[in-house]
């Protein structure tokens, strides 16, 4: 005798916050940015395509070893948790 289980799992989509690809900060986009250009890989005062750094990246926002566009950046997740569509994320962050 076999038992079949009919379970459903919900897929939760993470709504990422708006990020500026000029200064790498959150909450605005490049066309309206008044800040200096920052590299998404090293945080230097140049665009990513001109970056000479090799090896480990450094996030402009949290200074950890990942690019500023990394979806699991703690600063990005903190901004994402303020979006009402990500209400499930607040509990997940507490468990990290």
Give the pLDDT confidence of 19-58 residue by residue, as tens digits.
999 999 999 999 999 999 999 999 999 999 999 999 999 9
- Which pLDDT tens digit goes with each residue over 58-83? 999 999 999 999 999 999 999 888 88
Q: Residue ranges of the domains in the chain?
A: 30-94
Residue showing tokens 């994320």: 89
Angle 14-18-24 from CA coordinates, rounded to 5°: 115
pTM of the model: 0.73
* CA distances, 83 to each of 26, 56, 76, 87 (Å): 13, 30, 11, 7
């Amino acid at each position: 005798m076999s038992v079949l289980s009919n379970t459903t799992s919900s897929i939760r989509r993470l709504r990422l916050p708006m990020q500026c690809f000029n200064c790498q900060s959150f909450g605005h986009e490049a066309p309206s940015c008044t800040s200096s250009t920052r590299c998404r890989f090293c945080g230097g005062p140049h665009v990513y395509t001109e970056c000479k750094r090799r090896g480990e990246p450094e996030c402009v926002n949290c200074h950890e070893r990942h690019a500023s566009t990394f979806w699991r950046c703690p600063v990005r997740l903190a901004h994402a948790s303020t979006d009402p569509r990500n209400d499930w994320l607040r509990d997940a962050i507490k468990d990290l």
